Amino acid sequence: MLIKTKSNILSSEITDRAVFESRREFIKAATIFSAGIMLPSSGHAETGKYADVPIGPYSAKLPVTGREDVTSYTNYYEFSSNKKDSTVLARALKTTPWSVEVAGEVEKPGVYNLEDILKDNPVQERTYRFRCVEAWSMVVPWIGFPLGEMLKRFKPTSKAKFVEFTTLNNPEIMVGQRSGVLDWPYVEGLRMDEAMHPLTMMVTGMYGDELPNQNGAPLRLIVPWKYGFKSIKAIVKIRFIENMPETAWHKSAPGEYGFYANVNPEVSHPRWSQSRERVLGSSIFTPKRDTEKFNGYGAEVAALYSDMDLKKYF
Amino acid sequence: MLPGKKGWATIKITVFFLSLMPFGLLVKGVINDELGANPIETLHFGFGDWALRFLCIGLALTPIKTITGQSWPIRFRRMMGLFAFFYASLHLLVFIVLDLSLSWEAFKDEVPKSPYILMGLLTFLLLVPLAATSTKKMQKRLGRNWLKLQRLVYVAGLTALVHFFWLVKSDYTEPLIYATVISILLGIRIAVYCRRTAKLFSL
């Protein structure tokens, strides 16, 4: 197999490293001081569980967003619609033991322990840009494995046209689920070819360590060419189905959030432009960057949608 | 016992500096890099929240006077209104200077695509004549029309609410709180108006 590295991002679009890092200098220094560990320039910890994970294909050579920013600014409505509150509330979630139910059009349905899934799927690190539908982005060194590799092991039948993912439903811990902000549990889905695409990842860690609760521990999806809400967190169920699943945000506002949700600067959200994005961690005087179609992964995924009107199937 | 002339001056100065505190804290946050992963958003939302809060405080003063029969709340009406305008201006300034980086290109692209931004701009435009005619001199010059003009603040309160409702993704808790407060404050005025009219006709 040809191993490709992403390089089609212009250097002019990358935040100047000096600018990028100056804001975090103080925090970084404080972290080194308090934790007594050295941080490499990309800002990730080398002492974590996944410190020696190999770099996988498609990993972007981009300046990584500070871990502090990525772990304190999370959209996790199961806990709170406030990005800061959700990071704190998510601490209450217990992620071991964890199992995933596999169901639907598949030869090997069942309940799988996460540990067993991880035994079968060796992890790698991949740095991807993550673009939220709210017009901000960050660059994260995810740790996980290709979703397709895992799905193949369950032997989906020919009837399986879509994959549906479900988040844990536990209003006792996930206090945001007590409100009707979304129709719980959170459900997301992919077309089979999207799910099998080598860019699509199942993620269990980031920054050389385990996934923090607020970032979707213990198991989340990452689909780098789609808006962040597709990348469902704390997955407990994977179902192979024949018809397109009804997904959480689409259900809440069908005119605003489509099933495909491919990053596309040409198709604006009904209430705001998607042409630009605020890069987290950059200085307050840094202009927003121009959003790329398919979040910069057009060469890899545009062919999946070649016969589709992306304005209609947003 | 109510404070004397000097007492009121002291109270007014205290209220003035208290009202500047949110500004001070947010600026301190920028300088010390304490505004989180998205400092522009924190600053932008912070100023917007305070504009709305001062608008609510300003709108509350007349009903407080009506209910308590005390006239002192009116002494603060201009200051609260001007602080609402001050924070609304900062809110807009952060949007233009930091969020759009003064780019006309970005403004042309992003503003027309956003009904809530347009509603925000309308709200600001409604506040401009109110702030501009807030001086005693202007009040005298406009005579009876001054009060009519200043009633635009009711419209601004409503457009500010619409601005907030339209930008929210799915959780309407916060704008609902402001909507409740503003409804009560405008509702009291309507009730008072109805009672006066009723009295007028029964005479």
Q: What is the pLDDT of residues B115-124, one digit of tens each?
A: 999 999 999 9
* pLDDT above 90 coverage of chain A, percent: 85
Examine the pLDDT at B38 and tell me if it is beyond 80. yes
Rg, C-alpha atoms of chain B: 19
Q: Which positions in chain A touch B101 (Cβ < 8 Å)?
A: 285-288
Residue A34: per-residue pLDDT: 47
**Residue A46's pLDDT is what?**
60
Task: Name the nearest CA neighbour of A289 among A62, A28, A52, A32.
Answer: A62
> B114 to chain A: which residues are within 8 Å by CB?
271-273
Hey, are the CB atoms on A72 and B36 less than 8 Å from each other? yes
**In sequence order, which ranges of B4-114 are alpha helices (DSSP H)?**
5-31, 39-68, 77-93, 104-110
Q: What pLDDT, in 10s, does the model give residues B162-194? A: 999 999 998 999 999 999 999 999 999 999 999
Judged by average pLDDT, the poorest of A59-63, A65-69, A194-198, B1-5 is B1-5
Q: Is residue B91 predicted with pLDDT exceeding 90?
A: yes
Q: Is the pLDDT of residue A105 over 80?
A: yes
A139 φ, ψ to 5°?
A: -115, 120
> Mean pLDDT of all residues in chain A?
90
3-class DSSP assignment, residue A43: coil
User: How far is Cα B49 from Cα B54, in angstroms, rounded to an integer?
Assistant: 9
Mean pLDDT to the nearest integer, B155-168 = 97
Q: Give the sign of the dihedral formed by CA A156, CA A159, CA A164, CA A170.
A: negative
CA dist A156 and A31 (Å) reads 46
In degrees rounded to 5, what are phi and psi of residue A221?
-95, 150
Give the pairing of strands A136-146 and A276-279: parallel
Please name each of the domains of chain A with its CATH number: 13-305 (3.90.420.10)
Q: How far apart are CA B92 and CA B16, in angstroms?
A: 22
What are A165's strand-pairing partners? A188, A238
Q: Which of A37-46, A263-272, B11-20 has the lowest mean pLDDT?
A: A37-46
- The DSSP output letter for A53 is P
Interface mutation vs chain A, best among B98, B103, B171, most A CBs within 10 Å: B171
Collapsed DSSP state (helix, strand, coil) of residue A220: strand
What's the confidence (pLDDT) of residue A38? 41
Closest CA to A104 of A159, A24, A59, A173: A159
Q: What pLDDT does A26 receive?
A: 46
**What's the whole-number mean pLDDT along residues A192-217?**
98
pLDDT at A144: 98
Q: Would the pLDDT of A19 be above 80?
A: no
In this model, does residue B132 exceed pLDDT 90? yes
- A24 has pLDDT over 80: no
pLDDT at A29 over 50: no
| Rounded CA separation A240/A165 (Å) | 9
pLDDT score for B200? 83
- Residue A153 host element (H or E): helix A147-153
Per the CB < 8 A criterion, the answer to whether A39 and A45 are in contact is yes
Q: What pLDDT is attached to residue B202? A: 78
Is it the case that residue A27 has pLDDT exceeding 60? no
Q: What average pLDDT does range B121-141 have in this prediction?
A: 96
Q: How confident is the model at residue B2 (pLDDT cuts 50, 70, 90)?
A: confident
User: Residue type at B174?
Assistant: E
Here the ipTM equals 0.90
Q: A162-167 and A136-146 as β-strands: parallel, antiparallel, unpaired? A: unpaired
| pLDDT more than 70, % of chain A | 85
| Confidence bin at A1 (pLDDT 50/70/90) | very low
Greater confidence (A94 vs A29) lies with A94
Q: Does pLDDT of A40 surpass 70? A: no
Q: Are the beta carbons of A73 and B37 separated by less than 8 Å?
A: yes
CA distance A143 to A138: 15
Contact B171 A68 (CB under 8 A): no
Indicate the range of A21-25, A134-138, A164-168, A252-256 predicted with least confidence: A21-25
State whether A182 and B170 contact (CB < 8 Å). Answer: yes
Per DSSP, the three-state class of A80 is strand
pLDDT the model gives residue A35: 45
Which chain B residues touch A275 with a CB distance below 8 Å? 106, 109-110
Whether A273 contacts B114, CB under 8 Å: yes
In this model, does residue A205 exceed pLDDT 50?
yes
Partner residues linked to A187 by β-bridges: A166
Q: How many percent of chain B have pLDDT more than 70? A: 99
Q: How far apart are CA A222 and CA A240, in angstroms?
A: 18
Residue A284: what pLDDT? 95
